[in-house]
Chains A and B, each alone.
Chain A
Amino acid sequence: MELQKIVVSHDGKKQHLQGVSTAIQRGKITTIIGPNGCGKSTLLNVMARNHSPLQGKALLDNKDLVHYRPKEFAQKFAIVYQQNDIPQDLTVEKLVSYGRMPYHSLLKKNDADDDKAVDWALACTSLSEKRQHDLSALSGGERQRVWIAMALAQQTELLCLDEPTTYLDIYYQLELLELVKELNEKHGLTIVMVLHDINQAIRYSDHIILMSAGCIVAEGEPRNVITKQTVKEVYGVEAIFQEDATLGLYMVPIGI
């Protein structure tokens, strides 16, 4: 995925993205971070074709996003949103099988492929035993995994996650990030996610895009992007950085 000088405005006046250019690296975990309203979710929404840019181009496999048909795009790009309505009377398995829709047409449907993809998605997210359960019977962490499983069933190379940890408590946050890491390492998925927690971003990303006021301030390896200066500049927070033998780099905010 490649973004070229993307300009987005929700109201036609203020530019919410001001000519953003970047490229998502294959097989890596890329995390977009930045303060509230910096445009990180907007950027993700441009990638997901929810916002069409005023100017600039977004390319996936060298093809402009506007030229993709919906199903064709959904075979290459999967996204999990932060908030999801929970449909009633729906089993885990049934919801995950919705992820196969990009491969269905009015006449064509390959049940064997579908079953395989759904089984795989459920196994990846450790939901195989809960496949017959109703969605309403699941915990918050499990539900988030169900949405990821649905996205996995799309069998895309690229998986995006919009603030996947926001409504979860710390245990499920870690469980989820470990899952993301596993999907990347074991299954070679390219991951793009938006996170709020800077330390989680440092720990789980190969590449960080730091945004502020609709622009990319810095991007690259975590330790080059998240520094005393950038944190002060972007978040207005004083922070100290420590190195831990097993954890690596971590940050402690100390004041404003």
Chain B
Amino acid sequence: MKKIISTVIIAALLVITAIYAATTGSIKMGFWEFISALFDPNNETMAAIRDLRFPRIIVAIFAGAALSIAGALLQAIMRNPLADAGVIGISSGAAFTKLFIVSVIPTLFFMTPIFAFIGGALACFLVFALAWKSGLNPLRLILIGIAINAMFTGLTEAFISFGGSLNASASSVLGSSLAFKTWDDVTIIAIYGSIGIVLAFVMYSWCNVLALSDKTAQSIGFNVTLARLAIAAVAVLLSAISVVVAGVIAFVGLLVPHIARRIVGHDHKVLLPFTALLGAFIILLADTIGRTVIAPLEVPASTIMAIIGGPFLIFLLRKG
């Protein structure tokens, strides 16, 4: 019952935030005006909103859902509540390969999602391979993840420095701004994001079984390694696609599943959908706050997430 109520509340909040985000900013609109304009193809204000704000809102929703689910999946396979694509370097790995491709072989631009996936997968593999020592020690895993993250972030920054003015677009590649999103961005994240989210939902029972000790899971005929690989691939896909379209947003994957677990419990059947919903809401909220609070200046959603997420990570670590 609590689960249903929470889901309805978050869904309602998401819709309200989306409408508020669509009607607030340099172009303003009242609620009823907005609703009627929604079905009026000739409304010019609406056309502007449709082109400028809708993509941004949809990208924020998908990025939030994708990153949060990626976090929940990583936490399941690493058996570690602190795992997050941003914290352990998957996002920065994806960001680096994306930047590399965009600036070195720009003709392959349309393949950036694939290269970002490869970069994210490489980072994920490195973290796993280096942290594995007859099992995964939670602390070692996080420390190695932070090291991998630092390495890829450093590589990216070095790359930008070398490129100099040649890479005027580089900072926008790295930046996690949700501004200036187009319907093309929406297409990319909607297609890959939906595939990833559906795959994640399909794998919910694997995530649940991974909560058992590895040996016990194996004893019931469960292929632990295969499940880990498959789930990791989906998590990397989801984080890579968010990086490609929305840039690096850390801490979402950490914060959201944790709050979701508090509300709906640990069963991934409920947890994953709820995490997606909550993540979509939180990122959209962060972006909307960031864009309205000191308008016309913008605070990136990732900055707002970092301000909330940093202390939250410390809180989780202190709690053990």
Contact = CB atoms under 8 A, between A and B. Distances in A.
Interface residues of A, number: 28
A50 B265 CA distance: 32
Given A73-B221, A74-B219, A99-B220, A88 B211 contact: yes
B220 A87 contact: no
Contacts of B265: 88-89
A85 interface: yes
6 contacts: A72-B221, A77-B219, A84-B216, A98-B220, A150-B220, A151-B219
B213 interface: yes
B319 interface: no
B282 interface: no
Given A70-B218, A88-B211, 7 more contacts: A74-B220, A81-B219, A83-B213, A84-B213, A85-B216, A89-B266, A90-B266
A238 to B, nearest CB: 37
Interface of A: 48-50, 70-75, 77-79, 81, 83-85, 87-90, 98-99, 101-102, 147, 150-151, 154
Contacts of B222: 70, 101
Interface of B: 79, 208-209, 211-213, 215-216, 218-223, 265-267
B220 A84 contact: no
Contacts, number: 61
Contacts of A85: 79, 211-213, 216
A163 to B, nearest CB: 13
Contacts of A81: 213, 215-216, 219
Contact of A147 (B208, B216, B221): B216
Contacts of B221: 70-75, 101-102
A99 B108 CA distance: 48
Nearest to A98: B220
Contacts of B219: 48, 74, 77-79, 81, 151
A49 B221 CA distance: 11
Nearest to A71: B221
